[in-house]
A and B are shown apart, each in its own frame.
Chain A
């Protein structure tokens, strides 16, 4: 970080800004090469990317910030861009700001440049998309109009990169100025002066720039006056917020600034475009733009739009469900094999059990998520970069909006059918924190693939009727979960204060279709996945080990129980296996987890569950499908899976003390409703903590889902019993 005392000693800091979809990421990758590092901003899920680049003899640190259209921030992304350009809230003061201007939308993308210049940033323009624009203005003329160096670049072919480095180096040596293209109306002055007086010293030009620059402080004051509102998500000094709230700022004041900038742009940009030389291949360029119209006619068409949409989403969904499966199985088998190998090597004992079941099992439970995460982000990266993801939001906005969700919440919710963990990571495509968190709160309600084995076992074992009835029930569970998620979103967006928010205009760009650069897509896919391993993975591993301990300690049965070791040693053949299974069942019952199952029995009795299901629910916290194997151990069925007929028989045959069936179809239904709604997945909680930066949201998620599950199961069982289905 650059401190005012030692600016010369520190590495020069350069920030790369621009609108979304202007090729900023590609430019960043091209400039920094392999030195790029992705980390995270504390508390939020926006990637902080920085890397080193050379310019002249020196090495410069280049920071990529999220794409934004304006610095008048409302969302976390916009705040990050603002912090990075101004150098506040922990961001270093940038020595140069590189602003990407889209040659195909020059005026709109230059709006951001004007804001940067008002704030006193030393700006260099990288003119992107020059290979697509039908009119390419002369760089020297643009430079004269905007009073800064302008370099046309095509990052894909590395065209203009050397010139850009040189321009950055030259600009480093220039004097700072704050350039305003409009002057505030007289009536604004009083507000501006008052707001400027409330800016803390650390934010003022003399501190940040080591030189007084009153116009830059004015720009900060203006920023505060236009941004502070009841529901903004901004971080700014309390003194400034209090002052702005006390002043009267009206729409006319906004017009003063916004229209002032547009007046300048609407005067200069048409002049620049009119003076541009005609391009030899202008027809070809126009055809490329025409192509987007044609593709949209199909992909957004009244009849074909949803068909195409269903196909794209269907392929993605199947990929997550089916293509990932063999890899997940392979990982599962690999870790089981590794465990078996280690067990043979070390022999039986506590250390072996800890290493094999706790550590290796735990690492395995982290890695099984990788195939789906990699695949989902491969799809998301591809769809985002080619321009279709924005169109998914466009197509689905009508539906999602009615539940107060963002159009971009659709893909995460669909991914939730496969697994909530990658789905929650996919909420990052929404720019507003409130939208992201609301989506995270409902994604775990979707029927994830881990619930399937549980449903399969329960339906297969306990629901009478033909296969068709059973299949219908399975479909009903999917519908139930989807409906619950949508209603939950609607209710929470009205009742939970941080999730309530004014509607933002759904004014999203539908960028031209472009062929994605696979290198950028793969790079993003890898950075997301490694972040998952590093940060969520460690929590999941710790929880797995804790859960292993819970279900495996104490190791010995209480004094006075059967001496299984001796019995097993004497027995052989089928007797031996039966004894071993019985021993495992007894040990599980006596373990802390087993006792927990007993302890919660009074609590879950009204839902129709006994202590054995209670143990299963405790075990399911590792992952829902563990319910099946835990229940298998309780019923002394080693190696049971959801299709195991003998486990099904035992469930059907189970009797209570008074000889009634322990598990009626009604119990199965109650249990399925419980599994549909309860938050029983520590990996989901870990990833929500990781994505929101606090334990507050996972705690809320756990509480509301589990309460909901309890009440719904209670209602199902009690009402069902009253109606005589018990």
Chain B
């Protein structure tokens, strides 16, 4: 999802990949297929990102975000 790596982007989750425990954690937090989220900002050191999903703001590492298959719906 590197093309969408910019603050302000609206993205929709299509699928969540990754190892089981890791994946379940993201799903349980509500990052399920179909949900939309917004990239708010990128930390000064370039990683992680701040995203807004389901009314809450979260920190998500770039490598972890790469486990999300997304489409840009900005």
* Interface residues of A, Cβ cutoff 8 Å to B: 69-70, 72, 74, 104-108, 111, 226, 229, 250-251, 254-255, 258-259, 262, 266, 292-293, 296-297, 300-303, 305-306, 390, 393-395, 397-399, 401, 502-512
Top 6 closest A-B pairs, CB basis?
A398-B45, A510-B57, A105-B55, A305-B44, A258-B27, A70-B28
Chain B residue, CB-CB nearest to A397: B48
A-B contact pairs, 8 of them (CB 8 A): A74-B21, A258-B27, A262-B32, A302-B44, A395-B45, A401-B61, A507-B58, A507-B59
Q: When A254-B20, A398-B45, A399-B45 are in contact, do A506 and B28 touch as well, CB less than 8 Å?
A: no
> By the criterion CB–CB under 8 Å, are A229 and B32 in contact?
no
Q: Which residues of B contact A226 (CB under 8 A)?
A: 24
> By the criterion CB–CB under 8 Å, are B59 and A258 in contact?
no
Q: When A506-B48, A508-B58 are in contact, do A258 and B19 touch as well, CB less than 8 Å?
A: no
Q: Which residues of A contact B24 (CB under 8 A)?
A: 72, 226, 251, 254, 258
CA distance A536 to B51 in the complex (A): 41
Interface string of B12-32 (1 = CB under 8 A from A): 000000011111111111101
Q: How far apart are B13's CB and chain A's nearest CB, in angstroms? A: 11
Q: Which residues of A contact B35 (CB under 8 A)?
A: 266
Interface SS, A side = helix
Q: Which residues of B contact A393 (CB under 8 A)?
A: 59
Chain A residue, CB-CB nearest to B56: A105
Chain B residue, CB-CB nearest to A301: B44
Which of B19, B34, B50, B54 is A300 in contact with, Cβ under 8 Å? B50
CA distance A660 to B44 in the complex (A): 55
CA distance A69 to B58 in the complex (A): 13
Q: Which residues of A contact B64 (CB under 8 A)?
A: 505-507
> By the criterion CB–CB under 8 Å, are B41 and A296 in contact?
yes
Given A505-B60, A510-B57: 15 more A-B contacts, CB < 8 Å: A107-B55, A108-B30, A108-B56, A251-B23, A251-B24, A258-B28, A259-B33, A292-B57, A297-B41, A300-B43, A397-B59, A397-B61, A503-B22, A509-B58, A510-B58
CA distance A390 to B32 in the complex (A): 24
> By the criterion CB–CB under 8 Å, are A395 and B43 in contact?
yes
Q: When A398-B43, A509-B56 are in contact, do A258 and B32 touch as well, CB less than 8 Å?
A: yes
Chain B residue, CB-CB nearest to A229: B21
Q: How far apart are A48's CB and chain B's nearest CB, in angstroms? A: 25
CA distance A259 to B16 in the complex (A): 12
CA distance A292 to B21 in the complex (A): 31
> By the criterion CB–CB under 8 Å, are A394 and B30 in contact?
no
> By the criterion CB–CB under 8 Å, are B29 and A502 in contact?
no
Q: When A251-B23, A258-B24, A397-B43 are in contact, do A507 and B29 touch as well, CB less than 8 Å?
A: yes
Which of B26, B27, B40, B47 is packed against the most chain A CB atoms within 10 Å?
B27
> By the criterion CB–CB under 8 Å, are B22 and A504 in contact?
yes
CA distance A507 to B23 in the complex (A): 11
Which of B20, B43, B58, B59 is A229 in contact with, Cβ under 8 Å? B20
> By the criterion CB–CB under 8 Å, are A394 and B48 in contact?
yes
> By the criterion CB–CB under 8 Å, are B32 and A398 in contact?
no
Q: Which residues of A contact B26 (CB under 8 A)?
A: 505, 507
Q: How far apart are A137's CB and chain B's nearest CB, in angstroms? A: 13
> By the criterion CB–CB under 8 Å, are A107 and B43 in contact?
no
> By the criterion CB–CB under 8 Å, are A306 and B59 in contact?
no
Q: Which residues of A contact B29 (CB under 8 A)?
A: 69, 108, 507
Chain A residue, CB-CB nearest to B50: A510
Which of A69, A111, A507, A508 is packed against the most chain B CB atoms within 10 Å?
A507
Chain A residue, CB-CB nearest to B60: A507
> By the criterion CB–CB under 8 Å, are A107 and B21 in contact?
no
> By the criterion CB–CB under 8 Å, are A505 and B50 in contact?
no
Q: Which residues of A contact B30 (CB under 8 A)?
A: 107-108, 111, 262
CA distance A107 to B32 in the complex (A): 12
Which of A72, A293, A301, A510 is packed against the most chain B CB atoms within 10 Å?
A510
> By the criterion CB–CB under 8 Å, are B57 and A509 in contact?
yes
Q: How far apart are A259's CB and chain B's nearest CB, in angstroms? A: 6
Q: How far apart are B2's CB and chain A's nearest CB, in angstroms? A: 17
